[in-house]
Amino acid sequence: MDTQTWIYLAVGGSFLLYFVIAILARAGTTEEFYVAGGGIGPVANGMATAADWMSAASFISMAGLIAFLGYNASPYLMGWTGGFVLLALLLAPYLRKYGSFTVPAFIGERYYSNVARTVAIICLIIASVTYVIGQMKGVGVAFGRFLEVEFETGVLIGMGVVFVYAVLGGMKGITYTQIAQYIVLIFAFTVPAVFISIQLTGIPLPQIGLGSTMADGSGLFLLDKLDTVVTELGFSKFTEPGHSTLNIFLLTLSLMIGTAGLPHVIIRFFTVRKVTDARKSVGWALFFIAILYTTAPAVGAMARLNLMQTVQTGPVGEESGNLEYAERPDWFRTWESTGLLAFEDKNGDGRIQYYNDANPAFMDTAAGFGWNGNEMTTVDRDIMVLANPEIADLPSWVIALVAAGGVAAALSTAAGLLLAISSAISHDLLKSMLRPNISEKNELLAGRIAMVGAILVAGYLGINPPGFAAEVVALAFGLAASSLFPVLLMGIFVKRMNREGAIAGMLAGLFTTVAYIFIYKGMFFIPDTNLFPDEAGYWLFGIQPESFGAIGALVNFVVALLVSRVTPPPPAHIDRMVEDIRIPGALREA
């Protein structure tokens, strides 16, 4: 069978599996729609959490970031995994003990205020909508290439698939679907990595292959070879930092606390039977996530090396060293058709020149070769994982597996985010505030209608995204870090924290972070509205917008603590609530 037939079988088969699961696990009550009935075991919940967590940003974009940023992408690995340690220690077991359906519900009741609940809903929607943009972009990239349709058509197909299993099944259907999606995506990510590691280093474990010598007999370590290849073409060394230590630290911290504050992740720990299961779920989730995250650096490095060596087939500057455009491989032609890879013959020699034309030192060298500018005018980072098996000339079934995995990763997280948004609207806004007497049947209907609306908005924003998937996702983490994480943490561990402090802190953290993003990136979906270029020389103290969530969180903490000290303390029953959440009953009585 040819590659395209394998792809149709793999993607179509996975869709059929998701639909069958959604039908069998259809939610019949609001509890099943919001928290899967609260009966999911820790291993299953850990696997579902891993799928919910490992989005298009993890599967598609993270290795792409590593491929092009090298060392500077390390905060994504450390921050996104370290956040689960914070969840396990500081949030998950306590929130499960409280037993709420949603994050705004906990905030509204802990801070005895519908205003606090409303602000939490706004923060949740802003962070979740920003996050879901990256997932829909990932869906469009995967479908656009592998189903050979336009990017926009790919997003629409993804919307239809999510509509069927998320609207029908709610959290119950999503949970069991995500378990299947985890199995698909982890095989899809690791199997090609094993093949490519054997090709390049002769070692089947990519984690070890990354630090091994090349199999070509040169005796060079893989990373040394990659550094040599990229620096010869004017790019920065793969293994050297390019940002300030402060920026790297803040980006890592922002991603960590953003992870712990993301509503669609937190809500997963409301689905287990008991408090100990919540803590175990985090451990299992971290184990399942680590399988992919320890593989990603090898995938990124090997993808970059394969790409560079394919285009630059010999020593730099020699006429025979550049790939003839007319003889470009099939994978190159295929990705050109998606618009995510583009070539322009600037000097008319019919060959591909791919180098860093932003490096003044290399421009003189390039001019000496007769090169008139970088001719790979578009190399979308999001294609690296998906294109890597084709670049390495792996079997067709492996390419098809990657297609199914990329789609599974994007769809699994999109479904979780959309459920968090719809739950905030139907349960926290409608049921808890606007129509408290609404029947369970009508609330369930409202939840499904809200889900449909969220899917339509997500689809539109996915077709008109502000950047590549991981960049958009990093901004979402900053928004969650600056708005929700501090009030959740203080709600559990600071008895004196009151509603005035929580509301002021959330608003201060959110507005500070949104303002910083606006200054350097502009209005998310309106081009050229940024006040300053998004470049290191213009950033405040060298802090990039993706790193600013940690500063926003600090603002949140400071404002909340100061305001709470000059306003009345919480009522006595709130003190007892905090004690009930934190301290086991027998110990409290003793």
> What confidence tens digit (pLDDT) does each residue in 198-240 have?
999 999 999 999 999 999 888 899 999 999 989 988 898 998 8
Taken in order of first residue, the domains within the chain and their CATH numbers are 3-303+391-472 (1.20.1730.10), 306-388 (no CATH)
Percent of the chain surpassing pLDDT 90 = 18
Give the model confidence (pLDDT) of 137-192 as tens digits: 777 777 776 777 777 888 888 888 777 777 776 777 788 888 888 888 898 889 89
Distance from C-alpha of 434 to C-alpha of 412, rounded to nearest angstrom = 31
Q: Is the predicted pLDDT of residue 373 greater than 70, yes or no?
A: yes
Residue-averaged pLDDT of the chain: 83
Higher pLDDT, 575 or 265: 575
Instruction: Show Cβ contacts of residue 298 under 8 Å, excluding neighbours closer than 6 positions.
Output: 193, 197, 206, 207, 209, 210
- The answer to whether the CB of 556 falls within 8 A of the CB of 513 is no
Helix (H) or strand (E) holding 279: helix 275-293
Q: Which residue has the tokens 């058709």?
A: 337
pLDDT at 469: 46
Distance from C-alpha of 231 to C-alpha of 361, rounded to nearest angstrom = 11
* Cα dihedral across residues 555, 556, 558, 559: positive or negative: positive
Distance from C-alpha of 417 to C-alpha of 420, rounded to nearest angstrom = 5
Q: Is the predicted pLDDT of residue 546 greater than 90, yes or no?
A: no
Residue 443: C-alpha distances to residues 36, 55, 504 (Å):
16, 29, 31
CB count, 10 Å around CB of 9? Answer: 14
Q: In the structure, what pLDDT confidence band is assigned to residue 526 with cuts at 50, 70 and 90? A: low
Query: Directed axis angle between helix 469-483 and helix 485-493, to 10°?
Result: 30
Residue 262's nearest CA partner among 62, 68, 424 is: 424
Q: In the structure, what pLDDT confidence band is assigned to residue 482 with cuts at 50, 70 and 90? A: very high
Distance from C-alpha of 337 to C-alpha of 334, rounded to nearest angstrom = 5
- Listed in sequence order, the DSSP H helices in 395-493 are 396-423, 440-463, 469-483, 485-493
- For residue 502, give both structure tokens: 């929580």
Give the model confidence (pLDDT) of 269-319 as tens digits: 878 888 888 888 888 988 999 999 999 999 999 999 988 888 887 777 665
- For residue 286, give both structure tokens: 């971290």
pLDDT at 569: 92
Buried b / exposed e along 278-304 (16+ C-beta atoms within 10 A): bbbbbebbbebbeebbbbbbbbbbbbb
pLDDT at 544: 84
Residue 115's nearest CA partner among 552, 577, 507 is: 507
- The answer to whether the CB of 404 falls within 8 A of the CB of 188 is yes
Q: Which residue has the tokens 């451990």?
A: 283
Query: Directed axis angle between helix 549-565 and helix 499-521, to 10°?
Result: 150
Phi and psi angles of residue 341, each rounded to the nearest 5 degrees, phi first: -140, 125
Q: What is the pTM of this model?
A: 0.81
